[in-house]
A = this chain, B = another copy of it.
C-alpha cells in the first residue's frame, strides 16, 4: 500500500467524525458508500446492528439531533489497505457536554471499513463499541 493511499483513507475516516462534530447531514451522507447501499452497516456504541444506507443515515440524523456538543480525538489509528478495501481501527476519545461537566471522557473502540470508489474512499462499515470499566493505563 502506498503512503498516499493511507493518507487518503485516514482523511476519509476523519471525515466521518468531522461530519458528526459539525452535525452536517449532507456531509455525513457523502461519507457513506452509495454504490452498494445494502452492504452499509453501522453499530453505534451499545446499539444493535443497523443495515442499509437509508437506515444508517436516518440513525445519524437522530444521533446528531440529540447531541449538543461532541468532539473526537482519535488515537491509536491503524490503516490497512487491501486492494480497494481499507480497514481502519482506532480509539475514539470522546469529549461531550456531559464530560465537560466532570463526567470524564468516554473511550470508544472503532473498526471502520472503507471502499475505494471513483470519487474517493467511502465508509461501508462503522462499528463503535464502548470500553466498559476503566482502562489499565488511565
Interface residues of A (CB under 8 A from B): 36, 39, 41, 43, 45-49, 51, 76, 78, 80, 82-85, 87, 89, 91, 107, 109, 111, 113, 115, 124-125, 127-133, 135
Contacts and interface: CB of A to CB of B under 8 A. Distances in A.
A115 B43 CA distance: 22
Copies in the complex: 2
A48 B107 contact: yes
A84 B82 contact: yes
A64 to B, nearest CB: 20
B76 A109 contact: no
Contact of A125 (B36, B39, B49, B87): B87
Contacts of A111: 41, 43, 111, 113, 125, 127
